[in-house]
Amino acid sequence: MHNEIITIGPITIYGYGLMIAIGIFLAYFLAEYRAERIGLDAEAVFGLTCWAVVAGLIGGKVLYYITTLREILADPSLLLEIADGFVIYGALIGGVLGVVLFCHYKKLNCLSYFDLAVPSVALAQGFGRIGCLLAGCCYGRETDSPLGIVFHTSEYAPNGIALMPTQIISSALNFVHFAILLVFAKKYKKGEGQVAGLFFALYSAGRFFLEFLRGDAERGNVGSLSTSQFIAIFMFAFGCLLFFYLGKRGQEGNRASAISIIGGASGPTSIFLAGKDRAAGNDESRRRKEKKLEKWREELSAKPHTLEEVERYLAEKWQAKRLGKETPEYVHMEQAMRSTLVLTHKPELLATPEPKAIDRKSSKKEQMAFVEQIQKRFEEAERVEAEEFPMDFRIYRICPGGDERFGSEEEAAQNSYLDVQIEKSFGVFQVSWCGGEDEKKKTDEIVKDIYQYYGVTEEDKEKGTERFWMLVHILEERSDE
């Protein structure tokens, strides 16, 4: 490969340095973009990047000196060769310390910013390994495989010999890690720090096995393992511990603080417990919500429509059909809606008092008593009759496939449909969807369209009402990043 990309007068641009620079810049812009999307402080990303990069460079160099200690003791002048020699594990360790110090200095939630940073780190590493390929460093062992690559002008790799393409394999792995981390962070993350744990586990596992293909000798060793393999064992264990522990802690700490119940014929089919003590002193969480509120206040225009206008819109644009009150779906949804509204708006109709808040430290007995009390309140709410709690409730059904795909409205409803529930006395508006993944993209667009038409008022934007946050949730959950 050719490392000297271009020379202009006394200045030479090298491929290795160029790839490192591209990786760092892309990592920075990605982190800044994602920070804005998830409610972290985007302005802090520049400082975070600088601290991580500087600390990473120092860490990479220090670990290189450690692995080549014998050579340095024999020739101390090697310490002055600042441009040569760099160990990626040292860079990771140094970068972690840099992030920790920066977050401590700025009083930021360290785990949240680790989760923000590690996909960017994987992306930067992918470009960094392309730089290794151009320079010829971190090369593989000799091979007769057709996958082998031959260097001709490298200052590091042996020239004219087919070598395992370890740089290409490593770069590809890093880009795969980058994609996995992004998907996990968006869809599957349960606790702060889990993405970082997954990154450490993925990288160390890949690096451990890749070391068997490496051919460069200046990497140090611990017994029969290379220095990197030795470190990888502990980093993998650390990553797994972080991943599972923080995932479990996140599940315990993110219980709902309000009641949301889906009713069934023989009792509740789903209960999200009320009254969870959510650590009132969580300044980071409040700050993130305030930042998101500010962002969406600017982006959302106040173009509200009444529920009556929404009803007409559903019929005219989406050919929605109103379900009859005698249908089983209507009877079931009306009862579920009445139970929920009684719990939230008319608790005086219930004999059982609302339970006191509990937290993770509560005993098993206290937790069981809490659940039983919630269950009892729900059962009482289900027994409230229409005469005691009258509603102006209606359901509109939209079949995205319609007659064209399924043949009849009844067949369409069996495959995929949207139910828009409107309760006008209490101003309730919500949409539920039933169907397979084939129709998901279409139904997501319909849901977004309906909620955007319903819109928000200036008062909703100013106060951050439930109507405002519902629209924000719909737009974020159903938008492609």
pLDDT in tens, 168-194: 999 999 999 999 999 999 888 888 899
Determine the pLDDT at residue 278: 42
CB within 8 Å of 162: residues ≥ 6 apart: 142, 143, 144, 145, 148, 149, 150
| Least confident window among 6-20, 81-95, 176-190, 407-421 | 407-421
Mean pLDDT computed over 210-239: 84
Determine the pLDDT at residue 206: 93
Determine the pLDDT at residue 403: 44
Between 479 and 349, name the one with better pLDDT: 349
Determine the pLDDT at residue 218: 62
Res 382 pLDDT > 50: yes
Mean pLDDT computed over 1-10: 72
Q: Output the average pLDDT for the chain.
A: 82
Looking at residue 214, what DSSP letter applies? Answer: B
Give the model's confidence band at 15: pLDDT under 50 very low, under 70 low, under 90 confident, else very high: confident
Q: Are 320 and 420 in contact (CB under 8 A)?
A: yes
CB atoms within 10 A of CB 158: 14
Res 322 pLDDT > 70: yes
In percent, how much of the chain has pLDDT > 70? 84
> CB-side exposure of 220: number of CA atoms within 13 Å?
20
Q: Are 377 and 269 in contact (CB under 8 A)?
A: no
Give the model's confidence band at 464: pLDDT under 50 very low, under 70 low, under 90 confident, else very high: confident
In percent, how much of the chain has pLDDT > 90? 35
Mean pLDDT computed over 412-439: 78
Between 419 and 248, name the one with better pLDDT: 419
Res 19 pLDDT > 50: yes
Determine the pLDDT at residue 62: 85
pLDDT tens column, 248-271: 776 554 433 333 333 333 333 333
Res 237 pLDDT > 90: yes
Res 81 pLDDT > 70: no
pLDDT tens column, 84-115: 666 777 888 898 999 999 988 888 888 889 99
One-letter identity of residue 218? E
Determine the pLDDT at residue 98: 92
Between 378 and 292, name the one with better pLDDT: 378
Mean pLDDT computed over 429-439: 76
> Could you give the CA distance from residue 55 to residue 91 in angstroms, rounded to a whole number?
7
Between 269 and 301, name the one with better pLDDT: 301
Give the model's confidence band at 374: pLDDT under 50 very low, under 70 low, under 90 confident, else very high: confident
> Could you give the CA distance from residue 112 to residue 194 in angstroms, rounded to a whole number?
9
Residue 357, judged by CB atoms within 10 A of its CB (0-12, 13-18, 19+), counts as: middle
Res 165 pLDDT > 80: yes
Res 324 pLDDT > 70: yes
Between 70 and 403, name the one with better pLDDT: 70
Q: Are 175 and 121 in contact (CB under 8 A)?
A: no
Q: Are 135 and 2 in contact (CB under 8 A)?
A: no
pLDDT tens column, 27-74: 999 999 988 877 778 888 999 999 999 998 898 888 878 877 777 788
Determine the pLDDT at residue 22: 94
Give the model's confidence band at 402: pLDDT under 50 very low, under 70 low, under 90 confident, else very high: low
Q: Are strands 225-226 and 221-222 parallel, antiparallel or unpaired?
A: antiparallel
Determine the pLDDT at residue 174: 95
Coil/strand/helix, residue 417: strand
Determine the pLDDT at residue 27: 93
Closest CA to 434 of 406, 397, 465: 397
Q: What is the CA radius of gyration of the chain?
A: 29
One-letter identity of residue 99? V
> Could you give the CA distance from residue 43 to residue 106 in angstroms, rounded to a whole number?
12
Q: Tell me the C-alpha to C-alpha distance, in Å, between residue 382 and each of 27, 216, 415.
A: 53, 71, 29
CB atoms within 10 A of CB 49: 24
